[in-house]
Each structure stands twice: as structure tokens, then as C-alpha cells.
Structure 1
């Protein structure tokens, strides 16, 4: 039977993206322009096949494993005498750094609910325990995590480059120069195939500019620009063509492996080529959401075959898995698969989770200090200034500068809206 989440294999593909960080941190390395070009064209612009292992950068982010135990969520009763509506039954998992994790399941299974809880985005009260490197989440968690939602509100009169730079400036640790920040942004723009529209306005319902698919890729690029150790993406490929979806997921794999980022992706029925890019698969059933599989993506077909449900030849395995877990379909085998999960996978998964809960890795404060040593601005004597600790990466004056600039640009490019705000009662 399939094991729970496996450790990341040693990486062996060419070094590239880290060269940008290396040049920008003052460490020995290629010049910034050369490093950017190599990082873009070797790994991001032309991502390697899923079977190719990718070498971790010397300037990868500090490892952040995520462990959760018995996480559950229910809606409160709608009226007196009613019972709470269970959305997500107790789920557990342990995921080491550098993994690209797919969270899948039929509609209404609680995929987004689970993602929001793990990303600390859920406003309602949940049950269960969540730890990063064996430590409870603290006030610094948002400094090491980034979230890409299904909808991202962006000013329609921004350019693509400005939108990505906004996130990078406010979320990422300070870099040696504006040129280094520009190189980092150029890498991301090319990775998600939006470099050719970098200076186009984003647009919206009233202002037409880039396409919906390009806008979706801008949203994903903004999440990656934050340079976080944990990245949570809610259906990042929705609205994209099959080719663009594959490109984006492969780019996320490069980010996961090169920078040691743990990436969670809620995705709905990816085609085979996209599914094969993921390291790990989490499958949920619906009504309510329960975990039915948690293990390496490559081992999922064999697991289901051993459970008596081999995927048909030439069929997309992930489509087949969802058919088995969707109530009301001819192939519905939810009960049998839940019994198999409880008997075969859950004991191994619980053991992995218990080890993750007692493990002691870097605290979030220690992670911030480690990142600061890599990309912080250094003095002529080489002594780094004091690490900025707190819920925000940028100091107040930098936040004020960035937000004022955004407001001025938006007003200048859309004077009608600015005048309306002035004269509104």
C-alpha cells in the first residue's frame, strides 16, 4: 500500500534561480543580469520534465514543514434546534519542505476550507492542531506564508509589473538594490509567460487589457513574488488553457524544489501531464469532507489497484479517482475506499503526524533571521542590520510610500474615479 508523504529526493538539476539571490545578497556568483537570464531560461522559462530532479539552490529558503492533526470545521446551526453542519471531518497530515502537494476531491469536499485553515485565512472557528516545524503557529506565520486565492482584487489601472512589484516590496525581505528586485521580478514574469505584457495595464470589467488567463497568471506570480517558505494556492489554474496550466504548475515545482518552498495547490481534475508534476496527492471525499488518500502521486494508481479499483488503460488516473469518490456516480466506491484508508494508510499517516508534532525545527523568528542573512542589505563592513521582527516585512514608512504611490498612480491614470471620490458625500 502507498506510504504517507515521502521525503524529497536529493536534487540534481542545474543551479539557476539561486544565482539571482546569490548576486543580490553580496555572495560570490555571476553578475546579476547573467544570473537572471540563466535562472529564467534554464529552469523557469523551460521547466524540466516531471521526472527530472531539480537541484536545490544554495540560497534556498529555510525549511518549513507543516503538520496538522484532526483538523475539522463545521458551520454553526442555522436555527434553534438544528445541528451544526459538518464541512470537514477530522483530517491529519505531515508535509516536509520542498513538496508540491495537490489537494483534490469532488465539489463540496472541503478542499478550500482545508487550505484556508492551514493558511490561517479561515475566519470561523476550527478544531484541531497545526504546527510549523513542530512549533505552534505564531504572529510571524504570515511573514513566512503566502496565499493565492481564487480572486485577487488588483487596481485595473496598474501594470502587470507594478502589481507583482507591489507584493514583492511589501512581503519580501529587503534586497541590496532596486536592480536586484527588478531581476527577481523579471524572473517571475518570464516564468509565468507574462513578460510580454509586463507594461500593459491589468484591466477589469470597465477597462479591457490583458486576457483573463493572463490576469490569473499575474495573481499566481504575485504569490510567488512574496518569497515565502509556505505557499497556498486555491485553484490557480482555473481559467487557463491546458498548456498554460501545465506551464504554471511546472513553474511552481521549480519554486518548490529550488527554493525549498512547501506548496499546496487546490486543483480540479488536472490532465495527466499536470498531475504527474505533483509530488504528493491529498484526496478528500464529500458530504462531509474526509481524507481518502494521502501519499505520493506516483503511487496512487497502484494503491487504488490494490484496493480493487485499477484505473482503465489510457484513462486519466485523477479523473478516475474522483469518479470513485463522487457520491451518486456509477463508480462510487467511497465506503470501500474509506475502509481501506482507515486500515492501511491512516496508521502510517498518524505515526508520521505524531513525529511532526514533536519535531523541533527552526521557529518562525529563526527562519526570518536566516532569510535576512541571505538577502538583507549589508553595510560596507559586511555587518547586517538588525532583523525586522513583527507581523510585517516592510517598515511603516515603506508601507506608506508604496501605498501612496499606488494611490497616486491609480488617480492619475483614472482621474474620473479620483474626482468622484473627492466629491462624493
Structure 2
């Protein structure tokens, strides 16, 4: 959906309307659609596998064929089900049909004889097997934010709200509309309701092509039946529906119009769901028992012949028997189905669907950058109202501030060592605490980011800025409270200007530290690896921060110039002291601050240079994080 167009102005013909009509008119299942006939021919997909050799840790690579020559067609109003055992290539084929597959894909996939394009992407709904939803949002909030991001500016907010209400009503979600989605740590709506919310997110754009990956996975038979009834009604409204399904009941199986049966990436049946048993019976794989057709098909896909053949359990070589069964099925498919199917595809040229509905203009976004930013910021704040502003984190910071204030309680001016240690504690605590929090930001949202960016819901820049700005209230509020407490309890220079400058330096360091954490998390996109790298980095910055080691050997002195803790510590010293200030170094004796070894090693000159260097770090780290997010595979 990279560029949902302004359908209300670009396509006046209601026959190709892809967005909701005014409220109180048609049912969701009856909205006018742009019909899409999906055809795929000789689809082949290969991946490279890296294998470790036996000697000296050598690596070799080989190609594995995931999909091998799959052909088929599905028309508006039909449901095509992909069946097969785990690892047979169902999800890979579905992803390929949705234009989301990276890698070596060959063959021909067309949509009304056209290749995949931005227009097709805008009219395609893709429901993944796993329900990727924000746990702290309610059902209505989840759908409303999706509508605000995916529906064009030509619709008013009231139109979008009423369309959301229509989707909630049609999908039977009214009872749980104000319930939170829920997650692993707290209970929310049921699995079937989550699946319907995921389907509802795609139905908001009124897609012409709907792709569903295992929509009944993990659901009881009654809930699965309800989900498939919903999908069937959507198909009857003129949509083209393709779904993968692992082991459907007989009730679910008979709701499908067409079936593709896959075995080890190869097709062994394509055709009407109701004719599958008859076909396998004609090639010698019939059964005398009344069975669920899906069970028989899955047995055959696994190379297990029905009871009319010799039972595999009695075979001396079960694996060899399975290979023979699969070989017979592959041969029968090539002989009885493949040639006829290709001829059928050639005869259906898609001429019934006018290709003028496709726009060839450069892709544009359906909403403005500013609109995306506002919606994403509002959604982020709504989602994190429970996780970010939690009492434990506030207690953690305030308790450290109070404890530190008690330890440094009204430190005398003569104890310059303790005062300098307090300033270094400022730079260390607020150099590392924000970094560790920021490291989790993007790895935790990786699945959501991939899902929403694959659907073209928003620009990466609007997401990046909204995500980072949304964290600022807490990221800056806690250090402000911390400094307020410990600064005055510690007895530092009681000058309002000095206090404000010290607070600004700490907040500046927080932003730089957060930037580095965002960069580390975005580059690695793995929480364990990111926290490990963050630990090593903070340890190096702590040692080279200018407090513990005052005379670093010349060959490694460059490390301290990479440490933002070093610059924060130096700026705090510069705000608190001047080189010509004096302190009581012994009873009745005054010494110059600039001559104190710890201050002399740091130097209190050229502070604006340190401010500029931290500014470069602030911008540079965030730019690195933004670029790293571009490397995430969104399709």
C-alpha cells in the first residue's frame, strides 16, 4: 500500500471504488470492488543454504528448491486453499503471490494479466499467521489507528470512524470492542477475536485480493468455522481469496472452491475441492472408508497411501515407500492436470477486466507525512501509557536520587573530590540508563514495523520521528526530577543559573545516550546481541570517561574522545567551576581549582567545542539508526 491514491478524485467510477462509501449504505461484504483474477504459472523459488564443512570450519553453500513449478488461477468470488504438510511451501507461495517475497523467484504471476504493482499492492490485504498487534490497545483503537493510516485524506475522520464501526459489526467484535488485545503478561481477547481483528485491519481498505496465512491455526473448530464463514462471505462479495490451511475439518474443507495440494514444494493436485477425492481415486489412491477429504490429501502429500494400498506400517522400507507414492503422484499430476491447466490459463486472458483502472503514475502516499506522524505519535503514547510510565521505573530513578543525595548530603566546598565524584556520577548514570532503555526500542517493534511497512502504511521517517519523540516525556522527565533532588541535597553550587545549566547538560547527555542505544538496537535488531554490545560500550566509556584514569597512554587516548560521558563530565565541571576558583585544600589554605589534578587533566577550556561534538554524536547516531532501519526486509 505504498501509495494509496485519492480514489475519490482519481477514479470516479464506482465500479472500481476501493474505499468505503458513505456510512449507513452497503454492507462491508457488498462494497463495490475492482475484481482481480490472479494467475501464477511455473512458479519456482530457490534459496541458498550455508553448510559448515567437517574440516577446519569451512563453509559451503547449496541451493534448495522451496517451490517447484506451481501453476494455478483464482477468480473473483472464489476461495483457493493451499494444503500440504509443514515445510511444503504453502506460506512461501502465499508470500510470493502477495509480492512480499525476496530472493530468487522465477515464473509468471499476474493480476488481471498485469504484473505486481503499487496499484495491486493497494488492493491487496495480507493476514499473516501470527497476529502482530499492540497488546495495550483496545480492539476499536487498533482498528481506528489502522484506518487513520491506511485510508486516504479524501475521507473525513468521521467517515473512517464509521467504517471502523461497520467492520467491527460485520466481524462480530462488538462485544469486545473496548477490551485490550492482550499479550503474554496479561489476559486480553481470545485467539479467535485476535484473528478477526487482524482480518479487520485488512478489510478496512476493502481489498480486492485477500491473502490469509493459516487463519484457523490454534483455534477450536467452532471458532475456526466462524472465521471461515467470515472469509466465505467476503469472497461472495466479489473478492479473490487465497488461504493456506494446515489441517481443516471436513466442514471447513467443503467451503473451499479450489485446492492446491503441495508436497515438498511440488504440486500434486490443483482443481475443485469437491473433485479431489474422485481424482485421486481415478489414479489408484481411493479409500473404502468415509474420511475427511483433507486428511486423505495430507496423507498423500506425506507419501502415505490410503487403505486400498499396502499399509506403510507393514512395509520394510517406509521411506522408500513414501518416495514411490510421491513419485506416482507427481507423474499423475504432470500427465492429468499440468497440461490441461496451462491450456486453461492461456484461454483466460483477463480481458473481462479493464486494465485502465491501473494507474501508472509514480507511487504516492495516501496521507501526508504530518498526518502519519500525528497518528503514530498518538498511537505510541496510547500504547505505552501502561508500559512506559510504570511505577517501578519511576521508583527506581527517584530512589537512586534520594540515596545519592543522602550519600553526598551537603558536601562541603573543601571536599572537592566528593563534588567531582558526584558530577561524574551524573554523567555515568544518565549516560547509561537511557542507553539501555533505548536499545530495546526497535528490536521489540521489529515484527510490527515489518508488518506495517510491508502494507505501506507510513513512511519510515514519520515512524522514526514519532517513535523517538514519544519517548521524550519520560526520558527527559525522570532525569529532571533526579537532578532536582540530588543537586540540592548534594550541596552543589546554589546558583539558579548553574543549576539550570547543569540540568541542560544532563538532558543533553540523555539525548546523546538514547541516540546511541537506538543505533545499536536498529543495527542488530536482536535484544540479546544489542544488550551485550551496549554493555561493552558503556564499560569502555566508563573507564575512558576521564575520572578513573587521568593519564591515558597516547596510543589509546582516542577512546575517551568517543565517550559522550567524557564530554558530559567535562561540561558539568565547566558549569560548576572556573579555573580561577578557589577551594580550601587544607585548614586555612586556599588552592586554585584549575590546579587540582582531576580538573587539570580534564581542562575547563573550549567547552563549546564539546557541545558541538556531542551535537554531532546526537545527529550521527540517530542517522545511523534511521539508515539501519532501512536495511530491515519489509517485504
Q: Of the candidates 111, 115, 121, which is equivalent to residue 90 of structure 2?
A: 111
In structure 2, relative to structure 1, the CA distance for the partners of 1:110 and 1:22 (3 Å cut) is closer
Query: Quick check: 1:94–1:356 contact (8 Å CA) kept in 2?
Result: no
User: Is residue 19–residue 151 contact of structure 2 (8 Å, CA) maintained in 1?
Assistant: no
2:496 corresponds in structure 1 to none
Q: Is the 8 A contact 1:70 1:92 kept in 2?
A: yes
1:267 to 245, 263, 271: 245
Q: Which residue of 2 aligns with 1:253?
A: 232
Separation in 2 of the partners of 1:199 and 1:116? 32
Q: Does 1:73 align with 2:50?
A: no
Say whether 1:167 aligns with 2:158.
no
Displacement of 1:203 in angstroms is 1.6
Asked if structure 2 preserves the Cα contact closer than 8 Å seen for 1:25 and 1:176, the reply is: no
- Give distance in 1, aligned partners of 2:35 and 2:358: 8
**1:200-230 residue CA offsets vs partner (Å, 9 max, x unmatched):** 1112122322233322332222222231111
Name the CA distance, whole Å, in 2 between partners of 1:191 and 1:281.
27
Equivalent residue for 1:240, pick from 201, 212, 219: 219
TM-score of the superposition, structure 1-length normalised?
0.76
> How do 1:176-325 residues align onto structure 2 when only pairs under 5 Å count?
177-258=156-237, 260-286=238-264, 289-325=265-301
**1:396 corresponds to which residue?**
369
User: Structure 1 residue 147 and structure 2 residue 106: aligned?
Assistant: no
Kindly indicate whether residue 401 of structure 2 is the aligned counterpart of residue 410 of structure 1: no
Q: What number of residue pairs does the alignment pair up?
A: 360
Note the residue ranges of structure 1 that are not aligned, 5 or more in a row: 1-17, 27-31, 45-56, 370-387
Residue 366 (1) aligns with residue 353 (2): no
Distance in structure 2 (CA, Å) of the matches to 1:171 and 1:284: 34
Check the 8 A contact 2:37/2:112 in 1, yes or no: yes
- Tell me, in whole angstroms, the C-alpha distance in 2 between the residues paired with 1:338 and 1:400: 52
C-alpha deviation, 1:191, in angstroms? 3.6
Whether the 8 Å CA contact 2:113–2:349 is kept in 1: the answer is: yes
Asked if the contact 2:268–2:329 (Cα under 8 Å) also holds between the matched residues in 1, the reply is: yes
Q: Is the 8 A contact 2:192 2:227 kept in 1?
A: no
Residues 355, 228 of structure 1: alpha-carbon distance in 2 compared, 3 angstrom cutoff = same
Tell me, in whole angstroms, the C-alpha distance in 1 between the residues paired with 2:349 and 2:155. 37
**Which residue of the other structure, out of 73, 78, 90, is the alignment partner of 1:99?**
78
Structure 2: give runs of 5+ residues left out of the alignment: 1-13, 52-58, 306-310, 313-321, 395-436, 438-470, 476-512, 515-635
The 3-state SS of whatever aligns with 2:385 is helix
168-177 vs 158-167, which moves further? 168-177
Give the equivalent residue in structure 1 for 2:333: 341
Pairwise CA distance, 1:133: 0.5
Tell me which structure has the larger Cα radius of gyration. Answer: 2
Q: Do the aligned partners of 1:253 and 1:277 also contact (CA within 8 Å) in 2?
A: yes
Distance 1:164 1:368 in 2: 28
The answer on whether the counterparts of 2:151 and 2:160 sit within 8 Å (CA) in structure 1 is no
User: SS at 1:136's partner residue?
Assistant: coil
Seen in structure 2, the aligned counterparts of structure 1 residues 24 and 110 have a Cα distance that, compared at 3 Å, is: closer
Q: CA deviation at 1:337?
A: 2.0
Contact 1:272 1:318 in 2 (8 A): yes
Residues 105-134 of structure 1, C-alpha deviations (whole Å, 9 max, x = no match): 111110001011111111222111211110
Aligned to 2:603: none
| Residue matched to 1:53 | none
- Larger proportion of helix: 2
Partner of 1:238, secondary structure, is coil
Alpha-carbon distance in 1 for matches of 2:327, 2:122: 41
Deviations 1:325-344 (A, max 9, x none): 10367465322222221111
**1:321 Cα offset (Å):** 0.9
